[in-house]
Structure 1
Amino acid sequence: MSGVQLGNVIKKYGETQVIHGIDLDIADGEFCVFVGPSGCGKSTLLRMVAGLEETTSGQIQIGARDVTRLDPSERGVAMVFQTYALYPHMTVEENMGFGLKMNGHPKAEIKEKVTEASRILRLDEYLKRKPAALSGGQRQRVSIGRAIVRGPEVFLFDEPLSNLDAELRVEMRVEIARLHKEIGATMIYVTHDQVEAMTLADKIVVLRLGRIEQVGKPMDLYRDPDNKFVAGFIGSPAMNFLSGTVKAGVVEVPGAGGSIDCVAKDAAEGQAVAFGIRPEHLSIDHGGITHTVDLTERLGGVSYAYLVAETGERLIVEMRGEEEVEEGAKVGLTIDPAKTYLFDAKTEARIR
């Protein structure tokens, strides 16, 4: 197995630049997730690692090899796509071994590798079936099995769960996490779903407009975001943001109902800020009257109240247990200043 290093990687389509000087080091055996909104460049960057997109400038290394100008077949990678791309007339066993067969590997070797991949992915009972007789999750496991039998240095996943329903996505997340632990390979995984990123990754790379916004462990990004974009993207539901102004050691936040102690040492007097707080760090104060309950989502053990402040700004409050609020009710909020974040209103950079 091998790690992956990107050095000042740039991608242009004519005069349009879509990847802007990416520097990234993915360790051997690490599960790295590229995450970001549509159009952020995550799939393009993955395809550049795979060799499916030409690198305009910069260097891509896999292990000790410079693979920047190598063909995909020479890079030692295997890619799993959003679409399963299985041959409908072939059985599961034939689909998984087809690449090795085309490269002239002996039948005994193909059989051995397909058997091992089938064991890892628990596909033994499906080996003689054709894709039409499989569920979406089973087809994706076959697609992953086809990658495993090639014995690549790096596995690349391009939104592999997007075509599955919610229950199958959860099941396949568990399968992929288990696969990574069993084979210990370097994996790069692209998704727009931050829940997938949080549950699978050793390292998350948050991308926006072809640039890296922040790199780190999932909970490090959640607890310590560098800017408003990362703070709003990582976490579900998203962090609440309200307009505020720093004044005399407090933050005036009309949308929160008043003044809140300022915990950011670098905040300047009079500075306009975006005041951030996560839904789970807010609680309803039934004695207040500064917010109107617009909607309540009841999900069982947890509920979410969607509030509208007197300023017109909107917030989400997480409620646990039996707590309930009626739609249309007037409520206040209790806020722990230690759980709040400040971001510069113009640059969106974190104020610490």
Structure 2
Amino acid sequence: MTGVTLKKVVKRYGDVQVIHGIDLEVKDGEFCVFVGPSGCGKSTLLRMVAGLEETSGGSIQIGSRDVTEADPSERGVAMVFQTYALYPHMTVAENMGFGLKMTGHPKAAIDKKVAEASRILKLDEYLSRKPKALSGGQRQRVAIGRAIVRGPEVFLFDEPLSNLDAELRVEMRVEIARLHREIGATMIYVTHDQVEAMTLADKIVVLRKGRVEQVGKPLDLYNDPDNKFVAGFIGSPAMNFVAGTVAGPGSVTTKGLGGAVATSVALPGAGAEVSVGLRPQHLKITAGSDYRVEMTEALGGVSFVHVTAPTGEKLVIESHDQVGVGMGDKVGITFDAKDAMVFGADGMRLR
């Protein structure tokens, strides 16, 4: 197995630039997830690694090889798409081995590789079935098996779970994580779902508008975001943000949180506009009447209470108690100031 290195990678479509000089190293055996909103360039970047999109500038290396101009078949990668693209008239075994058959591999070698892939993916009992007799999750496992059989240096996944229902998505997340542990391959995975990113990744790359916002381990991005975009994107429910004004050294005034917030970060001058961010679990419901409850999502072990502040700003409060409040109720909130993050007018985190 081997790693992937991007150096100043650029992609243009005519006069429109969609990838802006990305530098990135995915280490050998690492599970790297590209995450971001629709249109951020994550699938385009993955397709450039695969060779399905030409690179307009910069270079792409797989291991020690510069593959920037190489044909997709020469890059040593296998790609799994959100659509299964299985041949309906072939059995599972035939679908998995078809690529090797087309490249002239002997039948005994193909059968051996198919058997090993089916063992890893627990597909042994389905090898003689055709795709129409399989569930969505089983079909996606066959598509992954087809990639395994090829023996690639790098696996590329382009939103492979987006066509599955919620229960199957969870099941397949577990399967893909187990697959990575078992075969130890370098994997790059694209998703818009930050829950998938947090649960699967060794490293997350947060993208926005063709640029890298931050790279790091899942909990590092969650606990120590560089900017307001990453803070709001990583975490479910998303971080709450309210407008604030610097009152002086160590103090931010914010009407949405009921007054002054003490902070130890370096603040701009008095009167500067900032944003204060708090995770939903850091807000607590108290007696009071300043916040109107818009909705309560009571999920049993956890509840999410959506409230409107006096300023009109929307907040979500996470509670592991059964809160007993509903639409139209009035409540107060409290929090520990040490949990608050402060962001400047440019969106960058103040530290």
Q: TM-score range by the shorter chain?
A: over 0.9
Q: Measured at CA, do residues 158 and 55 of structure 1 come closer, stay the same or move farther in structure 2, by a change above 3 Å?
A: same
Alignment of 1:1-352 (within 5 A): 1-248=1-248, 249-286=250-287, 288-345=288-345, 347-352=346-351
Whole-Å separation in 1 of the counterparts to 2:260 and 2:297: 29
How far residue 290 of structure 1 moved from its aligned partner, in angstroms, is 1.3
Deviations 1:244-284 (A, max 9, x none): 01113311110111111123134432221011001001001
How far residue 300 of structure 1 moved from its aligned partner, in angstroms, is 1.0
Whole-Å separation in 1 of the counterparts to 2:326 and 2:92: 53
Whole-Å separation in 2 of the counterparts to 1:129 and 1:268: 69
Letter paired with 1:52: L
Letter paired with 1:12: R
Deviations 1:97-117 (A, max 9, x none): 000000000111000000000
Whole-Å separation in 2 of the counterparts to 1:269 and 1:220: 31
Whole-Å separation in 2 of the counterparts to 1:140 and 1:165: 12
Give the match's secondary structure for 1:269.
coil
Deviations 1:133-157 (A, max 9, x none): 0000000000000000000000000
Whole-Å separation in 2 of the counterparts to 1:260 and 1:266: 12
Give the match's secondary structure for 1:289.
strand
Give the match's secondary structure for 1:43.
helix
Deviations 1:156-181 (A, max 9, x none): 00000000000000000000000000
Q: What number of residue pairs does the alignment pair up?
A: 350
Whole-Å separation in 1 of the counterparts to 2:294 and 2:85: 45
Deviations 1:225-244 (A, max 9, x none): 00000000000000000000
How far residue 343 of structure 1 moved from its aligned partner, in angstroms, is 0.6
Whole-Å separation in 2 of the counterparts to 1:272 and 1:53: 42
Q: Which TM-score applies when normalising by structure 1? A: 0.98
CA contact (8 A) 1:252 1:260 kept: yes
How far residue 18 of structure 1 moved from its aligned partner, in angstroms, is 0.2
Deviations 1:215-234 (A, max 9, x none): 00000000000000000000
How far residue 95 of structure 1 moved from its aligned partner, in angstroms, is 0.1
Structure 1 stretches of 5 or more lacking a match?
A: none
CA contact (8 A) 2:86 2:95 kept: yes
How far residue 73 of structure 1 moved from its aligned partner, in angstroms, is 0.2
CA contact (8 A) 2:244 2:255 kept: yes
Identity among equivalent positions (%) equals 72
CA contact (8 A) 1:177 1:200 kept: yes
Give the match's secondary structure for 1:290.
strand
Deviations 1:37-71 (A, max 9, x none): 00000000000000000000100000000000000
CA contact (8 A) 2:255 2:311 kept: yes
Deviations 1:165-219 (A, max 9, x none): 0000000000000000000000000000000000000000000000000000000
Structure 2 stretches of 5 or more lacking a match?
A: none
**What is the Cα-based RMSD across aligned positions, in Å?**
0.8
Whole-Å separation in 2 of the counterparts to 1:33 and 1:40: 14
Whole-Å separation in 2 of the counterparts to 1:111 and 1:146: 12
CA contact (8 A) 1:46 1:158 kept: yes
CA contact (8 A) 2:18 2:210 kept: yes
Give the match's secondary structure for 1:190.
strand
Whole-Å separation in 1 of the counterparts to 2:321 and 2:117: 44
Off by >3 Å, runs of 4+ in structure 1? none
How far residue 328 of structure 1 moved from its aligned partner, in angstroms, is 1.2
Q: Which TM-score applies when normalising by structure 2? A: 0.99
Whole-Å separation in 2 of the counterparts to 1:158 and 1:268: 45
CA contact (8 A) 1:263 1:337 kept: no
Letter paired with 2:259: G
How far residue 32 of structure 1 moved from its aligned partner, in angstroms, is 0.1
How far residue 323 of structure 1 moved from its aligned partner, in angstroms, is 2.5
